[in-house]
Amino acid sequence: MEDLSNYRKSYEKSQLLENSIPDDPINLFHKWFHEIKELGSPETSGDEVNAMTVATIGLDGFPKARVVLLKKYNEEGFIFYTNYNSEKGRAILNNPNVCLSFFWHSMERQVIIKGIAEKTTEAVSDNYFDSRPDGSKLGALVSAQSEVIPSREYLDDKLKKLETNYSNKPILRPEFWGGFLVRPIEVEFWQGRPNRLHDRIRYQLQDDFNWKVDRLSP
């Protein structure tokens, strides 16, 4: 067994105080997201600043988390795309309560979002699918995501056949593939601070659609 008890770091890069935050968590998310991009931190050079963990409750009753890419956010919520027939897609359609989380280590920041997921409109899914490179479009058609397959060669052969079939034809979005919009009901912002006394600010959506803001003990 490897002992990791001496893996320690002092968090000292920033702070998160009530007198400097907006009333709406989307505005604070926007500020943090663009600070990471504009500072040219490691997340923007090699890694992806829009990488997030999506946690769901599976059909087997177990939670499962995986990393996907955030593709859009606005005042309504956060959008990502997937195969609706995948393990992730079926879990969300069965139980739309999900959690999204971002970890930007260069700025010692986390954002944790509880929300309710719903399918995006067909127009939104179509528009995004149309913007993808042809290889990514065909990849969506090739992959019966989460299903057992015999080999890598099986995928490669299937892709080659589709490349031939679609060589002179438009590649349309399949019905089983599209977006999910996660509407947030709670958003927590975590800023690393010295002595493990981190800043934790939580926004909770109220019945009047305003946000209640609290500081949480670290």
pLDDT averaged per 10 residues in sequence order, the chain, 218 residues: 74 88 97 88 64 98 98 98 98 98 95 98 98 95 91 94 92 97 98 94 97 98
CB atoms near residue 32 (< 10 Å)? 20
Tokens of 74: 């606005």
- Two tokens, residue 213: 């803001």
Return the active site residues. Answer: 196
Q: Please state, in angstroms and rounded to a whole number, the distance separating the CA atoms of residues 188 and 19.
A: 16
pLDDT at site 47: 67
pLDDT of residue 1: 84
Helix (H, G, I), strand (E, B) or coil at 50: coil
H-helix segments, the chain: 25-38, 87-94, 122-131, 134-142, 152-165
Tell me what pLDDT residue 12 has: 74
Residue 117 pLDDT: 98
pTM beyond 0.85: yes
Superfamily, domain 18-122+180-215 = Electron Transport, Fmn-binding Protein; Chain A (2.30.110.10)
- The tokens of 199 are what? 């800043």
Task: Give pLDDT, residue 39.
Answer: 78
In Å, the largest CA–CA distance within the chain is 61
Report the distance separating Cα 163 and Cα 172, nearest Å.
13
